[in-house]
Structure 1
């Protein structure tokens, strides 16, 4: 088995959060996270793809998210910003993951790590981004029959 994908997302959110706060190199973040309990059980390939994808593409991801935000990405809580960046990365660049899974995972991460109603905000933004970026998949899911 390739490891736990949900845990990979949790570690990726932690890494993106650290990067947003202090912009240290991802190698340092990964080294620190590897020493954390539970790291060995994750899908490391997925974790690395998500973390590096977000860090390398943060500008593009923020532009894609900005049209659905009610404030600048830099004004978001760092936790919710990290979760939205991670979800956007997955929606845009990991088409093998169904959009519903991406949204549900982002909402669950926001429930665990975000503010009281942060999961509702994340859900709304991710739903709009999915409708724009995964048009065929979303339409197929929403239309009966």
Structure 2
């Protein structure tokens, strides 16, 4: 995948830097799933081949290592909500779901709505025409399971 991370003039804000990190992470995870290359080699390649000056590189590294290290557990977390086997998912959808699931399960400082929205945006940019709707539905169901207290608190206005 080529670098399709948007570059804006001026200093990016933290949200943009995190979005760029997720975009690069998705591309790297896609490469990992297709090529089977060790993730540390892919990470090094991305850091050399791409301008990451407007990227939260710490988040980029965390997502790469976290998603690849927990891929099986992440797949198991959302498997009940899939309409097909994990192996039948498009590699882009799979990578997006893994990033979203990782953030929902392991990055509790990220609000569940942000984790879902960021994954939906990735699916809109990189995925098939309707994949963002599929990703949204799966991650919403996962959030209800792993972030139930946060969702209840939000709904009750706390």
For this structure pair, what is the TM-score category when the shorter chain's length is used for normalisation?
A: over 0.9
In structure 2, stretches of 5+ residues that fail to align are: 1-12
Which residue is equivalent to 1:125?
A: 138
- The answer to whether the aligner puts 1:10 opposite 2:17 as a matched pair is no
Q: Displacement, 1:141?
A: 1.9
Which residue is equivalent to 1:104?
A: 117
What is the root-mean-square deviation in Å for CA atoms of aligned residues? 1.6
The runs of at least 4 aligned residues of structure 1 exceeding 4 Å deviation read: none
In structure 1, stretches of 5+ residues that fail to align are: none
Rounded Cα–Cα distance in structure 2 between residues aligned with 1:143 and 1:113: 35
Q: Displacement, 1:15?
A: 1.2
Q: TM-score, normalised by structure 2?
A: 0.86
Rounded Cα–Cα distance in structure 1 between residues aligned with 2:155 and 2:131: 25
Kept in 1, the 8 Å contact 2:43–2:64? The answer is: no
SS of residue matched to 1:41: coil
Aligned length: 145
